[in-house]
Amino acid sequence: MGKSKTHADQKYIEALLNNDTIVLKEIYEKFAPKVVGYIKKNNGDESRAQDIIQETLIAIYKLVKEKGLLLTCPFDAYFFLLCKRKWLNELKKASLKEVTINEEVVSINDESIQHADETLIFEARNELFTEVFEQLGKTCKELLKAIFTIKSMEAVASKLGQSYGYVRKKKSLCIGQLTKMIQSSPKYNRIKNLL
């Protein structure tokens, strides 16, 4: 995507990062009606649409925060595609067999599909990682939380009353343990080729 130019709609991505109420309101006013229309046509209602929109915006925020995202397509296409796929996943989960999908003709380009795919895969990875982190033993969990929130290893070591060397070694062992846990997770095998 290096060749493509960043789209002017990057401002919506920045708004999520900065929690900018004015621009966030604009997102709802400009882009929500299309999503609501689609969800209502496909077995949903406004309240479900509100949830899907919020979840989608949070998913984008998390992706941008961790990996960054330079939008090379209109936000509209990317956002709508993401909401749509999320809604279809919800329907699948609820196994509403009688569901018929009323497709709309939307102009979607390759870049918006690529952005949407990236976001969804990232979200699936995040869900799996969160789940696995919860299963980690208490000592490792607390150590990692301290390291990644306090940021200075020296400060963590003194807080825990341990040596710097110990904390450092333990950190790599704990992440190693998480790595092993992910490798043995059946869910990981489903998304591993996409990461």
Partner 1 sequence: MTPEEKYELFERKINGELSAKEEGRLLLIINNDKAIADEFRIYKEWSSYLGSNLNLMQEQSDLENNLKEIGNAFFTQKSGEKKAKIIKIPSWGYAVAASIAIILGVYIFTKSKPTYNDFVSIPELSIIERGVENEIINNAEEAFNSKNYDKAGKYLSELLKNDETNSVYLFYYGITLIEQNKSKEASQIFATLQKGSSAYKYRAIWFEALNQLKQDNKDQCIELLKTVPKEAEDYTQAQKLLKKL
Residues that bind partner 1 (CB under 8 A): 16, 19, 21, 24-25, 28-29, 32, 36, 45-48, 50, 53-55, 57-58, 61-62, 65-67, 94, 125-127, 129-131, 133-134, 144-145, 148-149, 168-169, 171-173, 175-176, 178-179, 182-183, 192, 195
Q: Looking at beta carbons only, is 106 or 150 nearer to partner 1?
A: 150
Q: Looking at beta carbons only, is 29 or 110 nearer to partner 1?
A: 29
Distance in angstroms (rounded) separating the CA atoms of residues 164 and 161: 9
Least distance between partner 1 and beta carbon 110 (Å) = 26
Q: Looking at beta carbons only, is 51 or 117 nearer to partner 1?
A: 51
- The encoded tokens of residue 184 equal 């043995």
Q: Looking at beta carbons only, is 18 or 109 nearer to partner 1?
A: 18
